[in-house]
Structure 1
Amino acid sequence: MRSRTGIAGCGRMGAPMLAALRAAGLPARGYDVVPMDTPHITDDIAVFSEDLDTLITVVRDIDQTDAVLFGDQNLAAIPTLIRIIICSTLSPRYVRDLRARIPSHIALIDAPMSGAQIAAEEARLSFMIGGDAADIDGAMPLFAAMGKHFHRMGDYGSGMQAKVLNNLLAASNTAMTRLVLDWADDAGLDISALLDLIHTSSGQNWLASGFNSIEFARDGYTEDNTIAILVKDIASALDDAPEGADTTLPQTIQTQIRNLKPRLK
């Protein structure tokens, strides 16, 4: 029997991550509930489960993660499974609680990633990793095939905690950069010149610096797009906020992102 890695959730991030694994010569296949005319991606859970020893989840949210692990797909019950890597950005509280729900012989690693679709396509993702050191060591060939930066944050759950805090900053940068560009339009400034200025000045941030390569940079908010994921990610951070924390600013950023309209330039 040949061990195999499987990626559950082959959308804008999961599909290029799968391609990177296969390009590195690692046996891997993908699963998605949406049928795809794509080699090595199936919507047949029995086919996907065959010889599966490492499961990487890249689905959208907690409901889809529950479906993959315990519900319709029930992949946590596969007898050949030895490792689950959670790459979706989820509530740290939910991720920590998975340990009690997953059989103890299965290693759990939380490894959310950053970099957007362009970084996944170029196999240069940044992973924030939590888990037992030996378990992470065993999974490093997988991470090395898909990414460029690997941040070991501590015990299981710490990778997700770091990711949601990082995404609080990403969400605030997104909201404020878009507001700045809207105001620049009103002032008649050249947007390309302004973005060049921001990139080399004190306002520098990831969204502004990558505005012409990040696929969702100009999107408006809709319930099912990537901008909406930022709203979900703020909710994930808020779900595990310190007791008594002032959550006014994150909630304001959520509102700002929900109000984003598409940019035409």
Structure 2
Amino acid sequence: MAKVAFLGLGVMGYPMARHLKEKGGHEVTVYNRTSAKAEKWVAENGGRAAATPAEAAEGQDYVFACVGNDDDLRQVTLGDQGAFSAMTKGSIFIDNTTASAEVARELYASARERGIGFIDAPVSGGQAGAENGVLTVMCGGDQDIFDRARPIIESFARMVGHMGPAGAGQLTKMVNQICIGGLLQGLSEALHFGKKAGLDIEKVVDVISKGAAGSWQMENRHKTMNEGKYDFGFAIDWMRKDLAICLDEADRNGAKLPVTALIDQFYKDVQQLGGGRWDTSALLARLEK
């Protein structure tokens, strides 16, 4: 059993912290910007709520974070009452936020100066993956630190991979989001075409999902897309944040992402339809408006 803190109890962090306690058997302290959420988590799961990131991190072996963006991450680590100020030498900070590779490298360097390990470890699998403890975790950082952190991360994951040095986890997550955007646009156009052609979409998907066109998105999203149901899942607002990170990184490294840039604008169109909180599969709604 390890002493663990978790900072950020959103739709992902809330169940991830629960798995650390229930499945991992660890002693968990939680912090959330809205303290009522932390108190609710403790009432349901036990453990302890802290008033600040520093208080949560003090004396812990591992500190996890899953917050909104680069600025939020800097605030809970380096800000007033940030976690880094209270962590002891030899402890490890594991960041599950989807953020930039730039901030991952920045925090890795800051942590190293303090004698703290740092792993950037964004996740894929959505809310369902977090609830069921079957996330995919993409990690960047030093191999020895990753080896120590991996058994703890596995409390809420079915796949944990070391992708390279600091920032490599975030870069891998960018690859993941680029793939998802392209797949969903292709699936949206295919379903739209099939409907216009008068085909039975369920029959079509039952056949083509067993061939080269098959994908997780097709298997898990075609039915709700066909029914025009999008009020669940990974929100378009979040996806646009992630795609902005991808496009910014591409500007730095020289990668060409013409389709990703176009799909980002398609998501903007869906936001303007009032679908900012709809699932990313709502690209079809843009075609059917």
Q: What range is the shorter-chain TM-score in?
A: 0.7 to 0.9
Name the structure 1 match of 2:51: 44
Give me the whole-angstrom Cα distance separating, in 2, the residues matched to 1:170 and 1:61. 20
Name the structure 1 match of 2:16: 17
Task: For 1:189-228, list aligned pairs within 5 A.
Answer: 189-211=199-221, 218-219=229-230, 226-228=235-237
Q: How far did 1:192 drift?
A: 3.5
1:131 corresponds, among 115, 121, 141, to 141
1:135 is paired with a residue whose SS is helix
Contact kept? 1:129, 1:154, Cα under 8 Å: yes
Residue 142 (str. 1) matches residue 152 (str. 2): yes
Q: How far did 1:77 drift?
A: 0.8
Name the structure 2 match of 1:89: 98
Q: Larger helix proportion, structure 1 or 2?
A: 2
Report which of the two structures shows the higher radius of gyration computed on alpha carbons. 2
Cα gap change, 1:114 to 1:229, in 2 (>3 Å):
same
1:201 is paired with a residue whose SS is coil
Task: For 1:65-214, list aligned pairs within 5 A.
Answer: 65-80=73-88, 82-102=91-111, 103-211=113-221
Contact kept? 1:118, 1:213, Cα under 8 Å: no
Give me the whole-angstrom Cα distance separating, in 2, the residues matched to 1:11 and 1:213. 27
Name the structure 1 match of 2:32: 32
Cα gap change, 1:218 to 1:255, in 2 (>3 Å):
farther
Cα gap change, 1:249 to 1:32, in 2 (>3 Å):
same
Residue 4 (str. 1) matches residue 3 (str. 2): yes
Residue 63 (str. 1) matches residue 71 (str. 2): yes
Contact kept? 2:55, 2:86, Cα under 8 Å: no
| Gap regions ≥5 residues in structure 2 | none
Moved more, 105-114 or 196-205: 196-205
Please tell me the residue identity of whatever aligns with 1:231. R
Give me the whole-angstrom Cα distance separating, in 2, the residues matched to 1:231 and 1:249. 14
Q: How far did 1:94 drift?
A: 2.2
Cα gap change, 1:160 to 1:190, in 2 (>3 Å):
same
Give the ranges of 4+ consecutive aligned residues of structure 1 lying more than 6 Å apart after TM superposition. none
Residue 240 (str. 1) matches residue 263 (str. 2): no
| Gap regions ≥5 residues in structure 1 | none
Q: How far did 1:139 drift?
A: 0.8
Give me the whole-angstrom Cα distance separating, in 2, the residues matched to 1:178 and 1:158. 30
Cα gap change, 1:144 to 1:131, in 2 (>3 Å):
same
Number of equivalenced pairs: 258
Q: Deviations over 1:78-110 (max 9, x none)?
A: 143621111111111221122333343010111
Give me the whole-angstrom Cα distance separating, in 2, the residues matched to 1:171 and 1:181. 15
Moved more, 30-39 or 110-119: 30-39
Contact kept? 2:58, 2:87, Cα under 8 Å: no
Contact kept? 2:108, 2:117, Cα under 8 Å: no
Cα gap change, 1:182 to 1:213, in 2 (>3 Å):
closer
- Cα-Cα RMSD: 2.9
TM-score, normalised to structure 1, is 0.84
Contact kept? 1:110, 1:159, Cα under 8 Å: yes
Identity %: 26
Contact kept? 1:10, 1:41, Cα under 8 Å: no
Please tell me the residue identity of whatever aligns with 1:38. W
Q: Deviations over 1:30-74 (max 9, x none)?
A: 221122223247462265345333211111211211221122541
1:229 corresponds, among 214, 235, 238, to 238
